[in-house]
Structure 1
């Protein structure tokens, strides 16, 4: 696909619909209300985006309790627990919810499983913001598991009614192994449909698999706390390529390029294209000037913005610079 000294850019890569919506919500809130607009946790897991929004007047806090009473507070794309919503109400915060609709779907499934009397087995990384939010829907009925070994350690009878949910940004292959183990372990189990793994995460993992099969090295642009970006690196390695996470061009280790003929480049769902461009530019200066675009899926998913952010005169929601960054 690529000659020696070439780069192939993954398709798709970069922003997903949920990330575009979340960033756009913060930008639009700043346009309507002015600074400061408080955001609980990082709106998405990317250092560049957080810094840009801070420059425009967003204030990122660890807890809703850190937001002055009566202020505007945006909930991040990763979702929050009912306890957080209650705490925000107690402080009379004007909440704007940027939770990704796919994450909201998992929250609703957790509530349904709890109403049905099932124990919820949540496949994900303990402590991740998305997992904490879903766990909070029914904490007394939810167990977080991450590996097949965790499944074997569960102290539940085989006939326990259980429901399985997954963190949306996990590797599909990794999740399937855990879900298969749960099916072997329990006789009364309801498992998620494949679309509980975020469409964007799955598309980007599939594109990275193809890069890994064809290129010596795969570089994934994304922040170190981005779950979906880290999974992409793991997927590339599992499919035979050397692979590294690159938060930005300045973090590229030139030693990785030794003996490399061609490079596949992708980016996580929360990484802006400007960081990919910066990496490509640096690679060009290091002997990889040719750039091709991988054949792949063209995503056209769009999630609607909250109606409360519409222009009070026209009723429209204007485009926002960061959220609408194009390739």
Structure 2
């Protein structure tokens, strides 16, 4: 959850957007498909994909192989409902900011495709159902962690941190780290040190993943009054902090090798992908220090690289138990 994932933006103010106001939440002349599509958009499915990618490999590692298919499906559905509910509530609370940013002005609560009231009810319903689903079909530890993640994202990040501090995405990103704890507890009923290290990998990964995106849209964030670090700090300062977080992320990923009893597949992937991503971040920091610019040298190279890194790391984590059995 990188991301975190991705900060959304909203308000109790105007709902008009670039595509004009529509019959909020009603069908009218709209098709069922378009209405369903608007509600799906509230869940931010692209962000959830990244969160779920970290959950399944964690379950494989916790089980030392394949957990039951029923457990995997129950955990995935519950995780999607929890993340979707949190994202919908995030969009409800941030709709004022979304209306001011080019990147987000076409979101359903801004355009009026869905009314604020309908969006709020939808988010609360998904959140409640996710807790009951995980509690009844997985275990209550996973349900508690999922509900905790929702509270962290909606209250701690969206309502408290996002508009007040440049470190919003650092501490607010804790919610996006929770899927690995949920996945581990779904299999074992507990949370181990290996799960904590996986949590820390994503925690330290989030800033070098999200700050490049925030830099690209820094004008948007500035116009909306959101103090993302690239808005209020120099590029050099941001780049230095990206390097620091990347180093800590790699250290945690390598600590999993002895503590998580992983084999050579994960070990090779952790070292190789970590070295590659560190190269991208350090190269970017050096070019910022020299005052170099240009699309090929820009922050989005690091942003896309961060997604590749996390995907490779967790795919290797999923494969590793089957190779080392």
The structure that is helix-richer by fraction is 2
The structure that is strand-richer by fraction is 1
Name the TM-score, length of structure 1 as normaliser.
0.28
Larger relative contact order (CA 8 Å, sep ≥ 6): 1
Higher Rg of the two aligned structures: 1
